Structure 1
Amino acid sequence: MVTDRDYRLLADCFEAETLDARGFSHVDHIGVACQILQRYDFLDAARTYCRALQGIAGKAGAPDKFNLTVTLAFLSLLSERMASTTHETFGEFMEKNTDLMSRSVMGNWYSPDRLNSRSARTVFLMPDRFNA
């Protein structure tokens, strides 16, 4: 179960690139992304989130972990779900969207080879799998 942790302060630290990447979980990524998507229109949110994530990954000594395709595709999915899911809290949102907890959710649209390619890290790649 996901708690209703207040992600506002964590999102502030994330944007300022002062967040310690150690202990920053997948759920924390989602919570921070939700906050940033609420603060800005989608394009500004995507720019803000990508810039901060790249900076944090670089400071953590893992700049190659940043993947533009994964980040933009996940932000797009998250934005769509936020708009279409009636929810009052982050915990409620996550209870209604449990598939977002899976690190393999992008596998619905992307093959592992494409998603893990060198190109995917620096260029947004279109999906190569399509669900009917």
Structure 2
Amino acid sequence: MTDRDYRILADRFEAETLDAIGFSHLDHIGVACQMLQRYDFLDAARTYSRALRGIASKAGAPDKFNLTVTLAFLSLLSERMASTPHQTFGEFMEKNTDLMSRSLMGNWYSPDRLNSKNARTVFLMPDRCNA
């Protein structure tokens, strides 16, 4: 997908008109990057979290939303976007292939902590050190 495609997808995501079926991990990242470009970090986190929670609820899976994962991943993306020279989302992803790993948060969080009931509703600090 092009940057323009991700802008359109982000518009649909923010309006909560996006169908969760077929919304891939890469799409999550692309939309999150768009939000981080549109808004300052706190507004991006609020907007992204609200929309993701709404989409998960509409899909009948409200328990899939995890505030800790969402905020930790947005923080990581924001840092990477600021420190990775890139012109396009594709170029950014080529330079940050580890973002596609579903186990990436395991560098900072134990599975028990990350998958806990609290992690879904409260931002939890990491319990692992990224050495």
- The TM-score normalised by the length of structure 1 is 0.96
* Other-structure match for 2:63: 64
For 1:75 and 1:16, the matched residues in 2 are separated by 19
Q: How many residues align?
A: 130
Displacement over 6 Å in runs of 4+:
none
- The Cα offsets for residues 58-108 of structure 1, whole Å up to 9 and x where unpaired, read as 000000000000000000000000000000111110010000000110000
**Counterpart position of 2:2:** 4
* 2:38 equivalent in structure 1: 39
For 1:86, what is the secondary structure of its paired residue? coil
Aligned to 1:106: 105
- Where does structure 2 lack aligned partners over 5 or more consecutive residues? none
Give the superposition deviation at 1:4. Answer: 3.4
Q: Name the residue aligned to 2:90.
A: 91
Aligned residues with identical type, % of pairs:
87
Q: Which runs of 5+ in 1 are unaligned?
A: none
- State the one-letter code of the partner of 1:125: L
1:19 match: secondary structure = coil
Q: CA shift at 1:131, angstroms?
A: 1.8
Say what the alpha-carbon RMSD is for the aligned residues.
0.8
Query: What is the identity, as a one-letter code, of the residue corresponding to 1:115?
Result: L
What is the distance in 1 between the residues matched to 2:50 and 2:80? 23
- Aligned counterparts of 2:108 and 2:130: Cα–Cα separation in 1: 7
1:7 counterpart SS class: helix
